[in-house]
Amino acid sequence: MNNKLVICGYGWLGRYLGKAMSATHTIIATTRSEEKALKISDKHIKGLVFSLGDDTTTLCEALGNATLVLNIPPGRRNTQLDDFTDNMLALIDNAAAARVARIIFISTTSVYGENRADVLSEHASTQPETASAKAHVAIEQHLLDLKANANVDVKIVRLAGLTGTDRHPVNSLSGRTLNAGNKRINLVHIHDVVAALKTLILADSSMNNTSKTDSTDLYHLCSLQHPKRGDYYTQAAQKKGIAAPTFSESDLAPTGKVIDAKASWALLGILPDYANPDDMI
């Protein structure tokens, strides 16, 4: 295990991860402004100003024998992502050239598309529909090719919808009128995400290690239960004391994709504390 961690994209998830790893690792965290870099810097974390597309020289100086957590989202509303994808691929190649020890890429379960009604394991085919999902698939494939051809240690972590004590999707749905109340939900709590990432970061990557986490490229992080969203978000709003959204079709049989994460949790040796989305409210 090395004790150098670079979190590239120090947003909401990054802050939780940095706090969890600060006792065991020297951390460099990238942010796009000098003000934020100064704000996050302390005795455990050094803020580094970096925007995707910048010269990577200074960043790569920190990557030798380090674990790189790559967590730069493209933005949901951005539909022109060729530059984003190209810059991500260049950053990955430069990290490999700098002899990074491990790359953990934070991906998304949106790579499977939205118009599916089946149970999806880690081996299911991707069917990206949005520009963001297509960009994530391209980055994932580049990483897998890099692992195969250049022997770079790569982990891809596909996250379901993120929740936390300070973040829940019902807040943005409150009072709205929406359809497809019978679609299943796929959520994961930040507490469980950090536990999984911590396990991957601490895993020994030596050639002689036979840990299952070292031989696996792809992980799903999602709750183990998948209620209908009309039922779930109505209940969540009531518990939070906010205006409930109104859904059509909530009385129909459940449909929509189910992200099956049981195998990933088992490989990680973790039973998620928030296996039931009800516990996330």
pLDDT of residue 7: 98
Residue with tokens 């994961």: 188
pTM of this structure: 0.95
pLDDT of residue 95: 97
H helices of the chain, where? 12-21, 34-40, 57-61, 82-97, 131-150, 170-173, 190-202, 229-240, 262-268
Asked if 218 and 106 touch (Cβ cutoff 8 Å), the reply is: no
**How large is the average pLDDT for residues 118-146?**
96
Q: How far apart are CA 203 and CA 67, in angstroms?
A: 11
Average pLDDT for the chain: 93
pLDDT of residue 217: 92
What is the 8-class DSSP label of residue 68? E
Asked if 259 and 210 touch (Cβ cutoff 8 Å), the reply is: no
Q: How far apart are CA 173 and CA 42, in angstroms?
A: 37
Q: How far apart are CA 137 and CA 114, in angstroms?
A: 15
**How large is the average pLDDT for residues 54-81?**
92
Six-digit token pair at 53?
């597309």
Grade residue 208 by pLDDT with cuts at 50, 70 and 90.
Answer: very low
Instruction: Write the pLDDT tens digit of every residue in 88-120.
Output: 999 999 999 999 999 999 999 999 999 899 999
Grade residue 210 by pLDDT with cuts at 50, 70 and 90.
Answer: very low
Work out the percent of the chain whose per-residue pLDDT is above 70.
95
Q: How far apart are CA 121 and CA 272, in angstroms?
A: 17
**How large is the average pLDDT for residues 137-142?**
97
Q: How far apart are CA 236 and CA 267, in angstroms?
A: 31
